[in-house]
Structure 1
Amino acid sequence: MGASQVAASSWPIPPEGGWTADDLDRIPDLPPHTELIDGSLVVVSPQTVFHSRTVDFFNERLHSVAPEDLEVVRDFTIDIDRQNRPEPDVVVVRGDAVEGAEQTRFPAQAVILAIEVVSEDSVSRDRETKPLKYARAKIPHYWRVENAKGRAAVHAFELEPTTGTYTSVGIFRERMKADVPFSVDLDLTQIRTRRSAPQ
């Protein structure tokens, strides 16, 4: 038996009807950052430097300006429904949703903002699948960050209450100024590696 056959034979077999949000905490030896989308396990590919730096940037900057009654957390799953427990790259949640050190997820209704940094393998999930689910869960704000030739382009969306869908409130490339969900003024050019690339 080849290495790929051995690895495949050790993969968890989904139950009839698919996995549930509770199963994500019980399945042994899952790779880090495994998500549940429509009852299926989604394993995240290795992160790029751009992805890592961008997640760090938003986590740190939003943490420094968020009101005291809100918490900013990176790489943390949220419960949308029984078959969907995605893991946004950064979430802003109501402070009362943070219960303790052993907590593994937040209820979607506590999420104020979800941020996804698009990777090569997550384009359709971040542009189509996840925003649809976040909107249905009534998460008021969604930011999608794209790599535009090494620079961050932030596509910001706000939930439109009458339609229950997201509407674009702007695309930001060098500077992001916004008043919701709270006031931010972000220098997006700071999302870069510490050292300049060789000329």
Structure 2
Amino acid sequence: MMDILGVILAGGLATRMGGGDKSLLQLGGRSILSHVIDRIEPQVAGLALNANGDATRFDRFGLPVISDSIDGFAGPLAGVLSGLDWAAARGASHVVSVAADTPFFPADLVPQLRLAAELKGVEVALAASPHPKKGVLRQPTFGLWPVALRDDLRAALNDGVRKVVIWTEKHNASEAVFPVFRIDPFFNVNTPEDLEKAAAMMGGNT
């Protein structure tokens, strides 16, 4: 039986947005992070935010803020590890990670990741979506991660592994492929132009 907690990954540097916290930018009169919380919170048993620096800037959201335990902005896997350590202290079996800059991800993300893992008989699953040129494109910040593998992940990070695909392939990760209808559900806000696009999508009742 899976006891799944959620972790929102907000530990990036946001260099293409000029620095700062992309998740705190306004979209439809609310922060992007508020939209992300609304999407993931009903799908998990508890929720934390992975972010570095002064945690008080997120106080208004009422979530525990956990920082990377690996120095040097080691990428999303470092945030996943922090989430796994947090979940382990609470007796949970798994964590599902989502990106803090992706406001339209599927409302059935968690059950579909669980199903993908169960069908393949594995514990790690990544979200994916169709791509016109690349076939199926993995979404490495959206995944189901077992707490039991946290020491394995810690060792990999300490050995210099940074790419999600390298570590997940080692564990034969499965994929949950989500269809793209009017928009890509994994559209993320990286630039000011992306923020304008997201606002247009929201205006279309996404």
TM-score in terms of structure 2 length? 0.28
Q: Considering Cα pairs closer than 8 Å and 6+ residues apart, tell me whether 1 or 2 has the greater RCO.
A: 2
TM-score in terms of structure 1 length? 0.29
Q: Which structure carries more helix by proportion?
A: 2
CA radius of gyration, larger in: 1
